[in-house]
Structure 1
Amino acid sequence: MHSLHELLKDQLKDLFDAEIQFSAMLPDMIEKATSTDLRQGLSDISENTLENITQLQEVCQLLETAPTGVTCEAMRGLIRETTQTTGGQGDTATIDACLIANAQRIAHYEIAGFGTAKAFARCLGKSEAATLLGKLASRAGDHDKMLSYIATGGWFSTGVNQEAIEGSTSH
C-alpha cells in the first residue's frame, strides 16, 4: 500500500466480499437454527447484510472505486468454521449456541472492519463515507448484542446457552 487512501479502498473491497460471503451463508444458518428467536434474529441479520452490501457500494462510489477485486480470506475462514462446527448431528440447543458463537465472531469481524474503515475515511476527510461506515459498525454491534441476548436470555427466557446445558445433562 502506498497511501491510506489505497488502504481504505482495499479494506472496502475486503469488507464487500466478506458481506457477500456472509450473505450467501446466512440461509444455511437460518435453516439449521431451531430456536424461533435465533431464526428471526438471523433473518434480520440477513436483511441487514443485504443493506450492508448496498451501503458499501455507496461508500465505494463516494471514493471512486469498484467494490470488487479482493477475496476476504478471514470471512472464508469464519464461514468454514461455521460449516464445520454446525454440520453434524447433536443437541439442537447446542447447535443453536454454536450458530450464535459463529455469528458473533462474524459480527466482531464486521465491527473491527467497519470501525477501522470509518477511522481511515475520517482521517482522509471523507465524512460522508465515514458516516456510512459508522452506521455499518453500529449495526454490527447491534447484531452482537441481539445474539448475546438470545444466547443468555432475559427476564422471561433462559436463553439458548441454558437450554444447551439442560439438553446435554439429560443425555
Structure 2
Amino acid sequence: MKALMIEKLNQAYTAEKLALENLPKLAQAATSSSLKQAFETHRQETQQQVSRLEQAGQQMGAQIQGAPCEAMQGLAAEAERLIAQHQRGPLLDVILVASAQAIEHHEIAAYGTMRTLARSSGLRPVADLLEQTLKEEKATDEKLTMLAESEINPAAMQQSV
C-alpha cells in the first residue's frame, strides 16, 4: 500500500506541475475576465497543492519527484489542441471551461483515491493534506460550473444567435 501511495503521489505531483504550466495558457486564451481570474486563482492554489504533495511524501519517508501521468498529459494536450483550433471568444471560453473541468474531475478522482488509501493505511496527517487539496479541487469545479451557467454559456449562446 505504501508503494502504491507513493506512486499515486508522484503521479499527482506530475499532474500538478503540468497544471502549473497549462493554467497560464488557459488564462491567456480566455476572453472572460472572470474566467481568467478563476484560472489565476487556481494556479496559486496549485502551487500550494504541489507543496502539500511534497509534505505528504516527507511524512511517508519518500521524496516526491513526479512520475508519468498519461491521463493528465492527454487532457492537457487536448486542451492545447482545442485552443489552437478555435478563435478567441465566447465559444472558446466554453471549451476552456469544459477542458478545465475534465482536468478537475480527474484530479478529484485522484485525490479522493489517495485520501482514502491514506486513511486506510492509518496515515491521518497525509489524508488530511490530501483532503485539503480535494476540497480545493471540488471548489474549483463548482466555481467553473457557476461561471459557465451564469456568464460563459449565455455569452456563447448570444454570439451564436
**TM tier, shorter chain?**
over 0.9
1:87 deviates by 1.3
Q: Which residue of 2 aligns with 1:105?
A: 102
1:165 deviates by 1.3
Q: Which residue of 2 aligns with 1:148?
A: 145
Q: 1:93-142, CA deviations, whole angstroms, 9 ceiling, x for partnerless residues? A: 11011111111111111111011000000011000000010111110000
Greater displacement, 81-90 / 15-24: 81-90
Q: Which residue of 1 aligns with 2:38?
A: 41
Structure 2: tracts of 5 or more residues without a match = none
Q: Percent identity among equivalent residues? A: 29
Q: Which residue of 2 aligns with 1:16?
A: 13
Cα distance in 1 for residues equivalent to 2:107 and 2:136 = 9
Matching of residue 117 in structure 1 with residue 114 in structure 2: yes
Cα distance in 2 for residues equivalent to 1:35 and 1:106 = 19
Matching of residue 165 in structure 1 with residue 157 in structure 2: yes
Q: RMSD in angstroms over aligned alpha carbons?
A: 1.0
Could you state the TM-score of these two structures normalised by the residue count of structure 2? 0.97
Does the C-alpha gap of structure 1 residues 53 and 83 become closer, same or farther in structure 2, counting only changes over 3 Å? same
Could you state the TM-score of these two structures normalised by the residue count of structure 1? 0.91
Find the residue that maps to 1:134 and give its secondary structure.
helix
- Runs (4+) of structure 1 exceeding 2 A deviation are 88-91
Q: Which residue of 1 aligns with 2:62?
A: 65
Bigger fraction of residues in helix: 2
1:89 deviates by 3.6
Of 128, 134, 138, the residue aligned with 2:135 is: 138
Q: Which residue of 1 aligns with 2:89?
A: 92
Cα distance in 1 for residues equivalent to 2:60 and 2:71 = 24
Count of matched residue pairs: 161
